[in-house]
Structure 1
Amino acid sequence: MVPHLFRLLELWRIAAHYRLDLLIPAQDIPVKARPILKVIRAHPASWSSREKRNPLKLKEALEEMGPLAIKLGQLLSTRRDLIPPEILKQLILLQDQVKPFDVEILKSRISESLKADLPTLFARFDEKPLAAASIAQVHTAALHDGCEVVVKVTRPDIRSQIIKDFEILEWLGHRLEQKLEAARALHVSEIIQDYRSVILNELDLTIEADNTRRMRHYFTGSSMMYVPEVYMDSKDVMVAERITGVPISDIETFDRLGMDRADLAEKGLTIFFTQVFRDNFFHADMHPGNVFVETLNPQNPRYIALDCAIMGELSRQDQMTVARMLLAVMNSDFMQLIQIVHQAGWIPPGTDQDALAREMRRTVGPMVSKPMHELDFAGILLQVMDIARRFRLEIPPQLMLLLKTLVHVEGLGTDLYPELDIWKLAKPILTEWVKQQMNPVKNIKELGQQIPDLLLGAQDLPTVLIDSINGLKNQSAWQEKQLREIQQLRLQNHAQQQRNWIFGTLFLFFLSLGIITPLIFSIIFFILAGLVAIWRLSKPV
């Protein structure tokens, strides 16, 4: 059964009211997707809609649909290479110009959450929002010591709506996995579950505050990136240092101030690889509304990281796998790439690895020699997913957040400096990191740090061994019991087959003599059935 049918009907009404079927000409839409246009037009809300010529109808429709739709719009807003300019302008507004909620409700949430009234908390509080996004709203203020701050407050009553929308997504994901091999290979249901927890965590600003403090610790004193200080936080409110800068998408300001965009792009890519491999803690929501650049020192600008609600982490094994895969691609060694993927357990037994290597070389190979403006990570990713479907590859869900971040990075980098050679910059960073991980001195030192834990664990070794032996014995006894029961069932089944054969033979014999009338046959049948029942009851258990 479809979950939350009324919510689906509401989404249908919104799409029809804002005439989203008119956003893109029908001839520019894939043939298989065109029936969606007919569905939208079939709703009565489209018949009298006055939104046909509304220049902001997509933005307003996504706002009305809720936080998940806004998140999708934010993701698409970084794809200038894929989205028409007139649509892109609306999506960019979703980064920080969503419709705000009532300021009096916001003030009440601040007082209740921080357990104090506004005059006690702030020397000044500005009622006009600085920014409004899908999850929260931001206002400027000043502390009593003169520090300029921003106050972030979550929107009221959005949690239940997000949960409903995710239950619909989970239903769709389950249906896709039932019908499509590619969906099963990508673990679509697990990805949706992971993203559900990520978005729900974003509603808890104490998590964002902790993430911000952790990121600030990693980049303290850095010449590449600055992370604002957090002063106060609760589940619904976070008060942080106010920064001075412009969004990463403000190319005109960079050119006016004479900033070196190539150097800025290289810094951004270095920060990304540093977060993924050095810190294993990367910003996974890198749309332009969350990435700013300082303007105080145009000759040596720093990035400013905002909104650290959605962060990604990889296991040590996944870190090494990703690094080695990227190096194999950069070296055009696709057989090594397949061996790495095989060692990671992503390739099912019996796969033709030579054919898989040829497919990867055909798909991924051409991108190695291209500059940033000629790359299409999203398109390549779709091709890789198609290969995964055809070869039944298993792609771990924890890597999907990293892939989403790569799509963001490509979109930002394409705007900032299209000629950036990411391979030339990334190869030495990855090579050095892999060497460090495989350094025997480092590994021995790490082992030495684990010796106290190993010694403490050794005290429990006898108990663990005894429990394991008892477990094996119990398992063996259970298996023997199951085997005896299976053998008994086989014998009973064999005996039943023999009885059926005898009854069938007698029936055919009498039928061939032509002496069985329906009445006589019924009497004989019930007599035989009764004898069989008596024989079963008298049989010892």
Structure 2
Amino acid sequence: MIPHITRLLELWRIAAHYRLDTLVPAEELPIKARHALSLIRMHPAAWSSRERKNPLKLKQALEDMGPLAIKLGQLLSTRRDLIPPEILSQLVLLQDRVKPYDVDVLKTRIQQSLKADVNTLFARFDEQPLAAASIAQVHTAALHDGREVIVKVTRPNIRSQILQDFEILTWLGNTLENRIEAARALHLNEIIQDYRQIILNELDLSLEADNTRRMRHYFTGSSMMYVPEVYMDSTDVMVAERITGVPISDTETFDRLGMDRALLAERGLTIFFTQVFRDNFFHADMHPGNVFVETINPSNPRFIALDCAIMGELSKQDQMTVARMLLAVMNSNFMQLIQIVHQAGWIPPGTDQDALAREMRRTVGPMVSKPMDQLDFAGILLQVMDIARRFHLEIPPQLMLLLKTLVHVEGLGTDLYPQLDIWKLAKPILTEWVKSNMNPVKNLKEIGQQVPDLLLGAQDLPSLMIDSLNGLKNQSAWHDKQLRELQSLRMQIETQQRSNWIFGSMIAILLSIAIIAPWFVSVILIILAGFVSLWRVMK
């Protein structure tokens, strides 16, 4: 049964009211897409709509649809290579220019959450919002000691709508997994559930505050990136240091100030690989509204990390697998790439690995020899997903967040410096990381660091051994009992089979005799009748 029919009808009404079917000329769309868009025109809201020529209809429609729709718009806003300029200009506004909510409601939320009056907390509070996004709204203020701060407050009453929308997505994911092999290979519904938890975590600003403090610790004293300090936080409110900078998409300001965009792009990519491999803690929501650049020192600019709500982490094994895969691609060694994927358990038994290597070389190979401005990263990613479907590869859900982040990074890098050679920059970073983590001396040191924990746990070893032996004993006794029952059952079956065979053979013999010599059957029956009569007399 389709969940939340009322919500689906509401989304249909919004799409029809804003005439989203008129965003792109019908002749530029695939035939199947034209049929889907025709449903929008069937809604009565489309018949009287005056939004057809509204230049901001997509932005306003996504705002009305809610936080998940806004998140989708933010993701697409980084893809200047895929989205037409007239649509992109609307999506960019979703990064920090979503419709704000009433400031009096916001102040009440601050007071309830931080247990103090706004005037007690701040020497100045600016009622005009600095930014408004899908989950929260940001205002500027000043503490009583003069420090300039930003006050981030979550939007009211959005949790229930997010939960409702994810129930619809879960139903859709289950439907696709039951019908489409590629959706099963991607573990689509697991990805939806992981993303559901990520979005719900984003509603808790205390988690974002903890992430920000952790990221600040990793980059303390860094010449590449600055992370603002957090002063106060709660579930609904976070007060942090106010920074000065411009969004990474503001290339006009970079050119006006004479910034080296190539250097900036290289630093951005270095930061990304540092987060993924050194810290295993990477920013997974890198749209331009969350990545700023300092303008105080144009000759040596730093990135500024904002909104650390959605962060990604990989297991140690997945880190090593991803690093080795990237190095294999950079070295154009696609057989090694397949071996790495096979060792990770992503390839089912019986797969033609030579054919898989040829497909990966054909699809991924051109990435190594081309600059970013000639790459269609999203298109290549779709081709890789198609290969995964055809060869029944198992793609771990935890890597999908990393792929989403890579789409963000590639989109930002293309805008900032299209000629950036990402492979030349990434290869030494990855090579050094792999060597460091495969260093036997380092591995021995890590084992040595675990010795105290092992010694502390040694006191529990005797009881654990006794429990294990008792468990093995009980398991052995159970297996013996099962084996005896199986042997008994086997003997019964064999006995029954022999009896059936003997009985069947006798019947076959009697039938043959009856056909060949009917008189012989009569004689046998007379003899048997005599034996029966004699037995009755003796009894």
Q: TM-score, with normalisation over the residues of structure 1?
A: 0.90
Shift of 1:135: 0.0
- Matches of 1:422 and 1:303 in 2, distance apart? 18
Query: Could you tell me which amino acid in structure 2 is paired with residue 463 of structure 1?
Result: S
Match of 2:319 in 1: 319
Q: Secondary structure at the match of 1:252?
A: helix
Residues 1:258 and 1:462: Cα distance change in structure 2 (over 3 Å):
same
Shift of 1:397: 0.7
Match of 1:103 in 2: 103
Q: Secondary structure at the match of 1:34?
A: helix
Shift of 1:474: 3.3
Match of 1:243 in 2: 243
Match of 2:365 in 1: 365
Q: Secondary structure at the match of 1:240?
A: strand
Residues 1:48 and 1:349: Cα distance change in structure 2 (over 3 Å):
same
Shift of 1:237: 0.2
**Are 1:289 and 2:277 an aligned pair?**
no
- Matches of 1:464 and 1:8 in 2, distance apart? 55
Unmatched runs of 5 consecutive residues or more in structure 1: 510-541
Contact 1:16 1:45 in 2 (8 A): yes
Q: Deviations over 1:414-433 (max 9, x none)?
A: 00000000000000011111
Of 485-494 and 7-16, more deviation after overlay is shown by 485-494
Contact 1:58 1:87 in 2 (8 A): yes
Match of 1:176 in 2: 176
Shift of 1:459: 2.6
Shift of 1:486: 6.8
Of 254-263 and 177-186, more deviation after overlay is shown by 177-186
Shift of 1:462: 2.8
Match of 2:134 in 1: 134
Match of 1:40 in 2: 40
Q: Deviations over 1:363-384 (max 9, x none)?
A: 1011101111112221111111
Shift of 1:231: 0.5
- Matches of 1:165 and 1:210 in 2, distance apart? 27
Residues 1:472 and 1:256: Cα distance change in structure 2 (over 3 Å):
same
Q: Secondary structure at the match of 2:289?
A: helix
Larger radius of gyration: 2
Match of 2:387 in 1: 387
- Matches of 1:28 and 1:428 in 2, distance apart? 43
Of 6-15 and 287-296, more deviation after overlay is shown by 6-15
Match of 1:523 in 2: none
Match of 1:215 in 2: 215
Q: How does 1:447-486 map to 2 (within 5 A)?
A: 447-479=447-479
- Matches of 1:34 and 1:290 in 2, distance apart? 35
Of 29-38 and 305-314, more deviation after overlay is shown by 29-38
Number of residue pairs the alignment of both structures matches: 503
Of 449-458 and 3-12, more deviation after overlay is shown by 449-458
Q: Secondary structure at the match of 1:94?
A: helix
- Matches of 1:384 and 1:300 in 2, distance apart? 38
Query: Could you tell me which amino acid in structure 1 is paired with residue 171 of structure 2?
Result: W
Query: Could you tell me which amino acid in structure 1 is paired with residue 418 of structure 2?
Result: P
Query: Could you tell me which amino acid in structure 2 is paired with residue 290 of structure 1?
Result: N
- Matches of 1:44 and 1:494 in 2, distance apart? 76
Shift of 1:406: 0.3
Match of 2:64 in 1: 64
- Matches of 2:20 and 2:480 in 1, distance apart? 65
Match of 2:274 in 1: 274
Residues 1:494 and 1:107: Cα distance change in structure 2 (over 3 Å):
farther
Residues 1:148 and 1:494: Cα distance change in structure 2 (over 3 Å):
farther
Q: How does 1:489-500 map to 2 (within 5 A)?
A: none
Q: Deviations over 1:128-187 (max 9, x none)?
A: 000000000000000000000000000000000000101111111111111111111111
Shift of 1:492: 8.8
Residues 1:483 and 1:149: Cα distance change in structure 2 (over 3 Å):
same
Match of 1:161 in 2: 161
Shift of 1:34: 2.2
Match of 2:523 in 1: none
- Matches of 1:71 and 1:482 in 2, distance apart? 56
- Matches of 1:25 and 1:483 in 2, distance apart? 71
Match of 1:50 in 2: 50
- Matches of 1:210 and 1:180 in 2, distance apart? 39
Q: Deviations over 1:230-275 (max 9, x none)?
A: 0100000000011000000001000000000000000000000010
Name the Cα RMSD after superposition.
Answer: 2.1
Query: Could you tell me which amino acid in structure 2 is paired with residue 244 of structure 1?
Result: T
- Matches of 1:20 and 1:148 in 2, distance apart? 42
Of 30-39 and 175-184, more deviation after overlay is shown by 30-39
Query: Could you tell me which amino acid in structure 1 is paired with residue 65 of structure 2?
Result: M
Residues 1:91 and 1:494: Cα distance change in structure 2 (over 3 Å):
farther
Q: Secondary structure at the match of 2:369?
A: coil
Query: Could you tell me which amino acid in structure 1 is paired with residue 464 of structure 2?
Result: V
Query: Could you tell me which amino acid in structure 1 is paired with residue 298 of structure 2?
Result: P
Of 463-472 and 398-407, more deviation after overlay is shown by 463-472
Shift of 1:482: 5.4
- Matches of 2:141 and 2:119 in 1, distance apart? 11
Q: Secondary structure at the match of 2:95?
A: coil
Shift of 1:489: 8.0
Of 480-489 and 184-193, more deviation after overlay is shown by 480-489
Unmatched runs of 5 consecutive residues or more in structure 2: 512-539
Query: Could you tell me which amino acid in structure 2 is paired with residue 95 of structure 1?
Result: Q
Match of 1:343 in 2: 343
- Matches of 1:469 and 1:42 in 2, distance apart? 70
Match of 1:440 in 2: 440
Residues 1:123 and 1:356: Cα distance change in structure 2 (over 3 Å):
same
Query: Could you tell me which amino acid in structure 2 is paired with residue 455 of structure 1?
Result: L
Shift of 1:453: 1.2
Q: Secondary structure at the match of 1:320?
A: helix
- Matches of 1:348 and 1:46 in 2, distance apart? 49
Contact 1:130 1:138 in 2 (8 A): yes
Contact 1:19 1:49 in 2 (8 A): yes
Match of 1:334 in 2: 334
Shift of 1:285: 0.1
- Matches of 2:495 and 2:306 in 1, distance apart? 73
Of 27-36 and 362-371, more deviation after overlay is shown by 27-36
Residues 1:494 and 1:157: Cα distance change in structure 2 (over 3 Å):
farther
Q: Secondary structure at the match of 2:111?
A: helix
Match of 1:114 in 2: 114
- Matches of 1:493 and 1:23 in 2, distance apart? 75
Residues 1:368 and 1:151: Cα distance change in structure 2 (over 3 Å):
same
- Matches of 2:98 and 2:268 in 1, distance apart? 27
Q: TM-score, with normalisation over the residues of structure 2?
A: 0.90
Query: Could you tell me which amino acid in structure 1 is paired with residue 152 of structure 2?
Result: K
Match of 1:423 in 2: 423
Q: Secondary structure at the match of 2:104?
A: helix
Contact 1:377 1:406 in 2 (8 A): no
Contact 1:97 1:131 in 2 (8 A): yes
Query: Could you tell me which amino acid in structure 2 is paired with residue 378 of structure 1?
Result: A
Shift of 1:127: 0.3
Shift of 1:494: 11
Match of 2:306 in 1: 306
Of 66-75 and 32-41, more deviation after overlay is shown by 32-41
Of 423-432 and 173-182, more deviation after overlay is shown by 173-182
Q: How does 1:76-95 map to 2 (within 5 A)?
A: 76-95=76-95
Residues 1:246 and 1:462: Cα distance change in structure 2 (over 3 Å):
same
Match of 1:200 in 2: 200
Query: Could you tell me which amino acid in structure 2 is paired with residue 268 of structure 1?
Result: G
- Matches of 1:110 and 1:79 in 2, distance apart? 36
